[in-house]
Each structure stands twice: as C-alpha cells, then as structure tokens.
C-alpha cells in the first residue's frame, strides 16, 4: 500500500532486519561462520518476512502495540472504544 513506508517506527522488541545494529551484528556473526551463505540466506528470509508484513498494512507488526501510538486522533478513537467496551462489560456484569 502506498501509505506504508519505511518511515514507520518498528516497536521495541520487534526484530528490525533493516536496523544498523542488526546489520553489524550479522556481519560480525558472519565472520564467525565459515559458510557465509547461511547467514545471508537467513537475512534475506528476514527481509522477505518484513516486506510481507508491510504489504499486509503493518498489521502483523503494529496490530497489538497500542503503547506506540502517538497520533492524537488514533489515541482518541482508542479512548472512545475503550469507554464503550467498559460500559458494555459493566452492563453485562451487572445483568
């Protein structure tokens, strides 16, 4: 999708194959392994997974990371849905 770009901040704890740290650690790891292809195959696989996730609208990566929200509109909508859910739960609990 056109809205998905590489500008997204990947939440903490989610492996980002594009980060410099990961690239450096992979290069470091590759020097310890005699068969470089093993490392690069694995790296390419990670890249493919990341790109597939982005194609899915970022849902796989971002779907359950509400703590990462910074947009006030989205925050407001989460607040509204949260209030509605609380009201429903309270009604059902009291019933």
Partner 1 sequence: MTDNRGFIKAVSKRLFGVNFSSKRIILTEQQLKAKESEIGAKIFGPIKPNERREFFNDNEKSWFFHQEITEKGKVISSMTLHYEVQPIGILRISSDPTVKNEFINGQELKNFVQATEMYHERVMNQLYKR
Q: Which residues lie near partner 1 (CB under 8 A)?
A: 1-3, 8, 57-59, 62-63, 65-66, 68-69, 71, 73-74, 76-78, 80-85, 87-88, 90-92, 95
Q: How far is the CB of 87 from partner 1 (least distance, A)?
A: 4
Which lies closer to partner 1 via its Cβ, residue 2 or residue 20? 2
Which lies closer to partner 1 via its Cβ, residue 7 or residue 32? 7
- Inter-residue contact 9 to 62 (CB < 8 Å): no
Calpha distance 75→63 (Å, rounded)? 14
Q: Of 29, 26, 24, nearest to 46 (Cα)?
A: 26
Q: How far is the CB of 19 from partner 1 (least distance, A)?
A: 19
- Inter-residue contact 75 to 67 (CB < 8 Å): no
């Amino acid at each position: 999708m056109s809205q998905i770009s590489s500008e997204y901040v990947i939440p903490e704890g989610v492996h980002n194959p594009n980060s410099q740290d990961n690239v450096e650690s992979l290069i470091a790891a590759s020097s310890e392994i005699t068969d470089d292809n093993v490392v690069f195959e694995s790296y390419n696989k990670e890249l493919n997974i990341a790109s597939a996730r982005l194609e899915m609208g970022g849902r796989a990566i971002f779907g359950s990371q509400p703590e990462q929200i910074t947009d006030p509109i989205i925050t407001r909508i989460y607040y509204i849905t949260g209030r509605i859910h609380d009201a429903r739960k309270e009604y059902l609990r009291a019933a």
